């Protein structure tokens, strides 16, 4: 049983607040990812959970017991560092068994656990090697093995894949997910890469400047972002965010992006948005995949945008096209055979069921 | 026309190739010339004298006859000689152990305090090493003075009898070791501090999370990572301490009754003050085997560890 | 899980066992300062004592009052020494020797280090390790054969090498050059080779690369090596003791020991003053250039 709770956790460094009041409940066996840009406080939060940083205010509890004053060595947690932090003078076997040897576990028990972990991570033939003889991916697996062997209450990952090249990163992502399926331990994972967050997490915690922007399952965050920050952070390529005006004509609402571009608000949303009609300070959000080439049997909830394409990026399975509205870049995803050409005009269809409207004053999605 | 055109390029190529070779030669000769003063200095004033002393040790006192190992035979029969051997070894080993220990402990304390204050403390603690040993030995001589010792004055305050710091053989040996430790410990501290700083902080964090308390972290992380520096520092210090001259000479001049003589001071006494150069050379030479054995052991250890760490 | 359930009585009991992490850290810091102070007292006590004694008159010293405190401070020791021609000769000799030796050392070490670290020539690797190893041959082994060698040169070539202070100019470099070369090799080796190549492309020859690229970039190492060479030269005792005997040829360490400690009556006030003044130059350099000093020491170990 390892349930982790954070209550109003604050971390102050001299006169700056790196973490400004975090409330979070992590259920047993859950895989939670803390994601956000550099400096948002996610690593600091992780290190406070580990005990490597002191908590300035608030409480962290594991299984109901407050652990603020418990030193790291007694918290029964395991951590995988960004730089692996393997002991260079020990073999892989000794690295992985270090924690158990400190607690004087019997030798055969240690051997059994190490072999088991090595099997899960496919590093059995590396056990007698030293870290400097291993590649980056192998070192990462040894670091994970060291964590698994201890069978702790919580796994903590601090940007473990940042030092690997792109291809290896994708491989290791799958490894980590596979390991989590076999070894169902509560996990807190920190990364700045939102793709890692989306693919690995049961729930994602988006952080920005020391505060939590939104907590939710990956799909929820993707389709129903609560704030402008989350809307722009999650998803690659990023959501298009354009300042707009909301115009009311009779019972219907329209979104005006520029002098030439006006999009109808779907009837389902009209009720929600009506109160904001005629106001300034609104931003329109639409993901690139919801802005695509016109299809022959279009349905009613579509708006149309006539664009002059500036840049096209053929990706193979789709083509990204870029154009400008009022000086701001807009991205759309079209099929590779839609005939997109740089410099040529193209009519794009916006599926407005998936639109978002953001109140600039609060930063929240309406 | 065509011939000339064909010839010209090949001639140019030949010229270029010849010039290139000359350039290569010039490069290494320049390098050699640049290193020549160093080579000459070491060859003439270090290597040659070292071998020359071997030759000298085989001569008789007036340096006219060849006596082979006669000088050594003479030394082996002298009780003083064996005393000097024993004293030198004990002196060197004890002093180095204490210097390493104190250096290690102080380095840890300096490492623990916030970096802003470290510079100040480091500065204060390195002073003994900066002062010329001859000068500080005078200070210690005065501190140990039989009649006016400031230490004895303090001891008298708490009712302890005065100690004959340089007069009584065992105290004299202890005093010499103390002064050597005082002078040398800061060097160890600086070296160890640099080594401590080079251990990545994350290793300590990983060990803490793995469940290690402070002395387990020291044993499993700090010491192994520092082994290289510790070995090199110990080697240097062993050699320098073993061959030490200044401290014994100034503090006790080898006395009382030759109880604090080490190789260097006894060689000086015998060779220069006693006007028997070959005998003095023999005494000095005796340091070589002991130093070589120590050097080989430690270098072997360094090479082994260097292979592990990278 | 509500906030209330986080602090049940059982948890408070458990928390009390651990105490506060920040409090532990503060205690560790306090103990560190306590021990550091104790060690600082141990290390600084002799120089301080030198200072105290140097301010006392002979009368006060022989009166055997509290040795750790000056009742009637006086600068008479200082004025006597600083006006004594003999003492000033010692000082001058030391200064002259040290400065010249530093220059000689730099002139030998820098080109040698450049050659050994950058240029490959036959035997360069063995020479580099050789330089390191010669440092392991102590001066106490060499002084006797050198003495005899110089005496022989004296006999056969008539060049006076015994009892002249400029003999030391030959001897001191054997002590300073190996280590300085080693320091410089370390610093030069850490300069990326691309810098050489860029300079070569810009049309520089090797001498220009050395003077315009290497020396400026490796300046901290140079300063450290200079400081080391100066300190070692200034503090030398054995070589001058063996090779110089007349009072006007002596350098400071030998001068103080042999002249001021003549006979049975030691004028400790003057001796301590002399010693303190003799320790002053290295200390002053240290006070101003401490970081270079320490960098030079550790550079050898961490880069080697």
B251-290 residue pLDDT tens: 888 778 888 888 888 888 888 888 888 888 888 888 888 8
DSSP secondary structure letters along A75-135 = S-EEEE-TT----TTS-HHHHHHHHHHHTT--HHHHHHHHHHHHHHHT-GGGTTS-GGGS-
- Listed by number, the residues of chain A in 151-210 with a beta carbon closer than 8 Å to a beta carbon of chain B are 156
Closest CA to B144 of B174, B105, B120: B174
Residues of C with Cβ-Cβ distance to A5 under 8 angstroms: 1, 6
CATH 3.40.50.300-classified regions of chain A = 4-227
Given an 8 Å threshold on Cβ–Cβ distance, is A69 in contact with C3? Answer: no
Task: Note whether B241 and B131 are same-domain residues.
Answer: yes
Phi first, then psi, for residue A170 (nearest 5°) are: -65, -40
Residue A296 in contact with partner chain C when CB distance is under 8 A: no
Residue A324 in contact with partner chain B when CB distance is under 8 A: no
**CA–CA gap between residue C160 and residue C152 (Å, rounded):** 10
Task: Note whether C52 and C192 are same-domain residues.
Answer: no
Minimum distance, in Å, between the CA of residue B275 and any CA atom of chain C: 11
Residue A3 in contact with partner chain C when CB distance is under 8 A: yes
pLDDT digits (tens, 9 = 90+) for A28-74: 999 999 999 988 999 999 999 998 888 999 999 999 899 998 888 88
Instruction: With H, G, I as helix, E, B as strand and everything else as coil, classify residue A351.
Output: strand
Q: Which of B206, B216, B308 sits opposite A79 (nearest CB)?
A: B206
Task: Note whether B220 and B293 are same-domain residues.
Answer: yes
Confidence of residue B308 (pLDDT cuts 50, 70, 90): low
The answer to the question of residue B65 being in a domain is no
Residues of A with Cβ-Cβ distance to B219 under 8 angstroms: none
Strand (E) or helix (H) holding A216: strand A211-216
The answer to the question of residue C30 being in a domain is no
Task: Note whether C63 and C86 are same-domain residues.
Answer: no
Q: Which of B50, B112, B148 sits opposite C142 (nearest CB)?
A: B50
The answer to the question of residue C86 being in a domain is yes
Minimum distance, in Å, between the CA of residue B225 and any CA atom of chain A: 7
Residue C26 in contact with partner chain A when CB distance is under 8 A: no
Task: Note whether B88 and B203 are same-domain residues.
Answer: yes
Which residue of C144, C151, C153, C297 to mutate against B (max B Cβ within 10 Å)?
C144
Strand (E) or helix (H) holding A255: strand A252-256
The answer to the question of residue C295 being in a domain is yes
Q: Which of A54, A64, A70 sits opposite C6 (nearest CB)?
A: A64
Tokens read off for B301: 């250890």
CATH architecture of A4-227: 3-Layer(aba) Sandwich (3.40)
Q: Which residue of A has its CA nearest to B211?
A: A73
Minimum distance, in Å, between the CA of residue C28 and any CA atom of chain A: 14
Given an 8 Å threshold on Cβ–Cβ distance, is C119 in contact with B249? Answer: no
**CA–CA gap between residue B40 and residue C111 (Å, rounded):** 14
Taking the alpha carbons of C78, C83, C86, C91 in that order, is the dihedral positive or negative?
A: positive
Task: Note whether B4 and B117 are same-domain residues.
Answer: no
Q: Does residue C104 contact residue C169 with C-beta atoms inside 8 Å?
A: yes
Q: What is the CA radius of gyration of chain B?
A: 28
For a pLDDT cut of 90, what percent of chain C falls above it?
A: 14
Q: How many C-beta atoms lie closer than 10 Å to residue B46's C-beta?
A: 20
For a pLDDT cut of 90, what percent of chain B falls above it?
A: 16
How far is it between the farthest Cα atoms of chain A?
80
pLDDT of residue C95: 92
Q: Which of C114, C137, C304 sits opposite B34 (nearest CB)?
A: C114
Domain end (from B32, B56, B80) = B56
Task: Note whether C278 and C187 are same-domain residues.
Answer: yes
| DSSP classification of residue A66 | E
- A16-26 and A4-13 beta bridge pairing: antiparallel
The answer to the question of residue B276 being in a domain is yes
Output the domain CATH number for residue B221.
1.10.3720.10
Cis preceding-peptide flag for A237 (omega within 30 of 0): yes
Fold adopted by A240-365: OB fold (Dihydrolipoamide Acetyltransferase, E2P) (2.40.50)
pLDDT digits (tens, 9 = 90+) for A269-289: 888 888 888 888 899 999 999
**CA–CA gap between residue B265 and residue B176 (Å, rounded):** 13
**CA–CA gap between residue B162 and residue B145 (Å, rounded):** 11
The answer to the question of residue B120 being in a domain is yes
Task: Note whether B25 and B83 are same-domain residues.
Answer: no
Tell me what the pLDDT averaged over chain A comes to: 89
**CA–CA gap between residue C253 and residue C250 (Å, rounded):** 8
Residues of C with Cβ-Cβ distance to B244 under 8 angstroms: 140
Residue C7 clears pLDDT 50, i.e. is over it: no
Name beta bridge partners: A364.
A227, A359
Phi first, then psi, for residue A347 (nearest 5°) are: -95, 125
Given an 8 Å threshold on Cβ–Cβ distance, is C15 in contact with A69? Answer: yes
Confidence of residue C265 (pLDDT cuts 50, 70, 90): low
**CA–CA gap between residue B114 and residue B120 (Å, rounded):** 11
Residues of A with Cβ-Cβ distance to B308 under 8 angstroms: 88-89, 130, 132
**CA–CA gap between residue A161 and residue A181 (Å, rounded):** 19
Residue with tokens 């931003």: A283
**Angle at which helices B79-112 and C21-54 cross, to 10°:** 130
How far is it between the farthest Cα atoms of chain C?
100
pLDDT digits (tens, 9 = 90+) for C150-209: 888 888 877 777 777 778 888 899 889 988 888 888 888 887 777 777 777 777 777 777
Domain end (from B56, B82, B101) = B56
DSSP secondary structure letters along A112-125 = HHHHHHHHHHT-GG
Given an 8 Å threshold on Cβ–Cβ distance, is A72 in contact with B224? Answer: no
Q: Does residue A226 contact residue A357 with C-beta atoms inside 8 Å?
A: no
Q: Does residue A151 contact residue A114 with C-beta atoms inside 8 Å?
A: no
Residue C185 in contact with partner chain B when CB distance is under 8 A: no
What is each CA distance from C66 to B148, B158, C69, C100, C167, in whole angstroms?
A: 10, 14, 6, 43, 44
Strand (E) or helix (H) holding C276: helix C268-303
- Tell me how many domains chain B contains: 2
Domain end (from B56, B80, B101) = B56
Output the domain CATH number for residue C277.
1.10.3720.10
Given an 8 Å threshold on Cβ–Cβ distance, is B202 in contact with A103? Answer: no
The answer to the question of residue C62 being in a domain is yes
The answer to the question of residue C20 being in a domain is no
Task: Note whether B132 and B278 are same-domain residues.
Answer: yes
Name beta bridge partners: A262.
A256
B-to-C residue pairs, Cβ atoms closer than 8 angstroms = 275
pLDDT of residue C255: 84
Minimum distance, in Å, between the CA of residue B129 and any CA atom of chain C: 10
Closest CA to A141 of A159, A126, A155: A126
- Tell me how many domains chain C contains: 2
Q: What is the pTM of this model?
A: 0.79
The answer to the question of residue C34 being in a domain is no
Given an 8 Å threshold on Cβ–Cβ distance, is C1 in contact with A51? Answer: no
- Least confident stretch, A350-354, B137-141, B231-235: B231-235
pLDDT of residue C253: 86
Q: How many C-beta atoms lie closer than 10 Å to residue B307's C-beta?
A: 10
Closest CA to C185 of C245, C225, C237: C225
Residues of A with Cβ-Cβ distance to C19 under 8 angstroms: 69
**CA–CA gap between residue A120 and residue A143 (Å, rounded):** 13
**CA–CA gap between residue B112 and residue B201 (Å, rounded):** 12
Helices (H) and strands (E) in chain B, counts: 16, 0
Q: Does residue B254 contact residue B187 with C-beta atoms inside 8 Å?
A: no
Task: Note whether B92 and B194 are same-domain residues.
Answer: yes
Domain end (from C49, C74, C99) = C74
Given an 8 Å threshold on Cβ–Cβ distance, is B206 in contact with A150? Answer: no
A-to-B residue pairs, Cβ atoms closer than 8 angstroms = 70
Confidence of residue B231 (pLDDT cuts 50, 70, 90): confident
Task: Note whether C118 and C254 are same-domain residues.
Answer: yes
Q: Which domain holds residue C51?
A: 41-74
**CA–CA gap between residue A176 and residue A228 (Å, rounded):** 30
Separation of CA B125 from chain center? 20
Residue with tokens 């350099």: C285
Closest CA to C303 of C124, C128, C102: C128
Given an 8 Å threshold on Cβ–Cβ distance, is C1 in contact with A64? Answer: yes
**CA–CA gap between residue A147 and residue A154 (Å, rounded):** 9
Q: Which domain holds residue B22?
A: 1-56
Given an 8 Å threshold on Cβ–Cβ distance, is B210 in contact with A146? Answer: yes
Task: Note whether C155 and C124 are same-domain residues.
Answer: yes
pLDDT of residue C80: 83
Mean predicted confidence (pLDDT) in A174-183: 90
Residue C127 in contact with partner chain B when CB distance is under 8 A: yes
For a pLDDT cut of 90, what percent of chain A falls above it?
A: 51
Residue A5 in contact with partner chain C when CB distance is under 8 A: yes
- A31-35 and A186-191 beta bridge pairing: parallel
pLDDT of residue C300: 56
pLDDT digits (tens, 9 = 90+) for A92-145: 999 999 888 888 889 999 999 999 999 989 899 999 999 989 998 899 999 999
Task: Note whether B166 and B291 are same-domain residues.
Answer: yes
Q: Which chains touch B (3 or more CB pairs under 8 A)?
A: A, C
Task: Note whether B280 and B214 are same-domain residues.
Answer: yes
pLDDT of residue C10: 40
Residue C6 in contact with partner chain A when CB distance is under 8 A: yes
Q: Which residue of C has its CA nearest to A56?
A: C22
Alpha helices in B144-286 (DSSP H): 150-157, 169-197, 201-209, 214-217, 223-242, 246-251, 263-268, 277-285
End-to-end CA distance of chain A: 38
**CA–CA gap between residue C268 and residue A24 (Å, rounded):** 74
Separation of CA C40 from chain center? 19
Which residue of C140, C238, C304 to mutate against B (max B Cβ within 10 Å)?
C140
Task: Note whether C124 and C49 are same-domain residues.
Answer: no
Give every CB contact of residue B286 below 8 A, 6+ residues apart in sequence.
B75, B85, B263
Given an 8 Å threshold on Cβ–Cβ distance, is B308 in contact with A89? Answer: yes
Mean predicted confidence (pLDDT) in A232-253: 88
**CA–CA gap between residue B207 and residue A99 (Å, rounded):** 8
Task: Note whether C186 and C49 are same-domain residues.
Answer: no
CATH 2.40.50.140-classified regions of chain A = 240-365
Given an 8 Å threshold on Cβ–Cβ distance, is B242 in contact with C28? Answer: no
Q: Which chains touch C (3 or more CB pairs under 8 A)?
A: A, B
Mean predicted confidence (pLDDT) in B164-177: 88
Task: Note whether C45 and C182 are same-domain residues.
Answer: no
């Amino acid at each position: 049983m390892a349930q982790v709770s954070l209550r109003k956790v604050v971390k102050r460094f001299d006169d700056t607040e790196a973490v400004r009041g975090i409330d979070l409940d992590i259920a047993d066996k859950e895989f939670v990812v803390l994601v956000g840009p550099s400096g948002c406080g996610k690593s600091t939060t992780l290190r406070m959970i580990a005990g490597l940083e002191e908590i300035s205010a608030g409480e962290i509890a594991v299984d109901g017991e407050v652990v603020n004053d418990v030193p790291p060595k007694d918290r029964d947690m395991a951590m995988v560092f960004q730089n692996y932090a393997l002991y260079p003078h020990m073999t892989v076997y000794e690295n992985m068994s270090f924690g158990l040897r400190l607690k004087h576990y019997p030798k055969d028990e240690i051997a059994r656990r190490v072999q088991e972990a090595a099997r899960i991570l496919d590093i059995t033939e590396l056990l007698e090697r030293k870290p400097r003889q291993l590649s980056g991916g192998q070192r990462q697996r040894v670091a994970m093995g060291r964590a698994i062997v201890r069978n702790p209450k919580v796994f903590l990952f601090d940007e473990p894949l940042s030092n690997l090249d792109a291809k290896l990163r994708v491989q290791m992502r799958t490894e980590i997910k596979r390991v989590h399926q076999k070894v169902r331990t509560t996990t807190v994972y920190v990364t700045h890469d939102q793709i890692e967050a989306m693919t690995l997490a049961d729930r994602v915690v988006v952080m920005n400047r020391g505060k939590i922007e939104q907590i939710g399952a990956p799909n929820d965050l993707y389709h129903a972002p609560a704030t402008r920050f989350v809307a722009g952070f999650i998803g690659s390529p990023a959501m298009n965010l354009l300042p707009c005006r909301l115009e009311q004509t009779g019972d219907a609402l329209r979104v005006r992006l520029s002098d030439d571009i006006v999009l109808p608000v779907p009837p389902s949303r009209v009720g929600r948005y009506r109160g904001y009609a005629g106001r300034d300070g609104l931003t329109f959000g639409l993901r690139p995949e919801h802005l695509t080439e016109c299809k022959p049997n279009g349905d009613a909830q579509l708006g149309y945008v006539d664009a002059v394409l500036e840049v096209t990026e053929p990706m193979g399975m789709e083509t990204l096209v870029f154009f400008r509205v009022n000086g701001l870049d807009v991205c759309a995803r079209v099929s590779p055979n839609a005939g997109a050409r740089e410099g040529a005009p193209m009519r794009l269809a916006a599926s407005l069921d998936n639109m978002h409207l953001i109140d600039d004053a609060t930063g929240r999605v309406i | 026309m065509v011939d000339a055109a064909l010839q010209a390029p090949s001639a140019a190529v030949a010229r270029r190739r010849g010039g290139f070779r000359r350039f290569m030669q010039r490069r290494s000769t320049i390098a050699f010339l640049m290193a020549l003063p160093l080579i000459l200095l070491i060859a003439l004033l270090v290597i040659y004298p070292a071998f020359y002393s071997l030759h000298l040790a085989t001569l008789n006192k007036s340096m006219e006859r060849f006596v082979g190992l006669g000088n050594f035979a003479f030394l082996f029969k002298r009780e003083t000689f064996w005393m000097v051997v024993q004293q030198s070894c004990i002196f060197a080993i004890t002093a180095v152990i204490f210097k390493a220990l104190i250096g290690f402990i102080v380095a840890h304390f300096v490492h623990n305090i916030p970096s802003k204050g470290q510079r100040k403390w480091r500065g204060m603690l390195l002073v003994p090493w900066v002062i010329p040993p001859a000068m500080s030995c005078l200070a210690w001589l005065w501190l140990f003075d039989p009649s006016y010792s400031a230490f004895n004055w303090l001891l008298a305050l708490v009712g302890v009898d005065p100690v004959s710091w340089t007069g009584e053989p065992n105290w004299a040996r202890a005093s010499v070791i103390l002064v050597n430790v005082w002078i040398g410990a800061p060097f160890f501290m600086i070296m160890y501090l640099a080594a401590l700083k080079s251990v990545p902080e994350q290793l300590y964090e990983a060990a803490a999370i793995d469940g290690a308390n402070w002395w387990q972290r020291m044993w499993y992380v700090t010491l192994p990572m520092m082994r290289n520096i510790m070995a090199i520092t110990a080697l240097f210090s062993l050699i320098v301490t073993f061959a030490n001259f200044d401290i014994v000479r100034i503090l006790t001049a080898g006395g009382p009754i030759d109880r604090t003589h080490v190789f260097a001071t006894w060689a000086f006494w015998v060779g220069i003050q006693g006007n028997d150069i070959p005998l003095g050379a023999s005494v000095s030479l005796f340091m070589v085997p002991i130093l070589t054995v120590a050097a080989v052991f430690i270098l072997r250890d360094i090479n082994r560890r260097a292979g592990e760490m990278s | 899980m509500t906030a209330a359930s986080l602090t049940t009585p059982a948890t408070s009991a458990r928390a009390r066992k651990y105490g506060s992490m920040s409090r532990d850290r503060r205690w560790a810091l306090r103990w560190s300062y306590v021990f550091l102070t104790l060690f600082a007292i141990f290390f600084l006590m002799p120089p301080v004592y030198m200072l105290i004694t140097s301010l006392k008159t002979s009368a006060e010293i022989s009166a055997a009052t509290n040795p750790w405190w000056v009742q009637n401070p006086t600068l008479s020791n200082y004025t006597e020494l600083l006006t004594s021609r003999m003492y000033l000769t010692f000082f001058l000799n030391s200064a002259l020797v040290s400065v010249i030796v530093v220059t000689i050392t730099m002139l030998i070490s820098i080109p040698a280090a450049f050659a050994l670290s950058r240029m490959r020539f036959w035997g360069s690797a063995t020479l580099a390790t050789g330089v390191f190893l010669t440092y392991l041959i102590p001066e106490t082994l060499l002084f006797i054969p050198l003495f005899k060698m110089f005496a022989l040169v004296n006999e056969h070539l008539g060049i006076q090498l015994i009892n002249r202070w400029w003999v030391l100019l030959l001897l001191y470099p054997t002590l300073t050059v190996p280590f300085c070369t080693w320091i410089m090799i370390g610093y030069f080796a850490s300069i990326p080779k691309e810098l050489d190549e860029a300079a070569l492309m810009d049309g520089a020859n090797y001498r220009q690369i050395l003077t315009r690229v290497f020396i400026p970039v490796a300046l901290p190492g140079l300063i450290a090596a200079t400081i080391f060479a100066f300190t070692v030269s200034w503090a030398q005792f054995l070589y001058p003791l063996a090779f110089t005997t007349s009072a006007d040829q002596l350098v400071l360490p030998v001068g103080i020991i042999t002249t001021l400690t003549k006979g049975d009556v030691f004028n400790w006030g003057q001796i301590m003053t002399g010693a303190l003044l003799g320790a002053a130059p290295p200390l002053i350099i240290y006070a101003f250039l401490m970081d270079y000093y320490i960098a030079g020491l550790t550079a050898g170990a961490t880069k080697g």
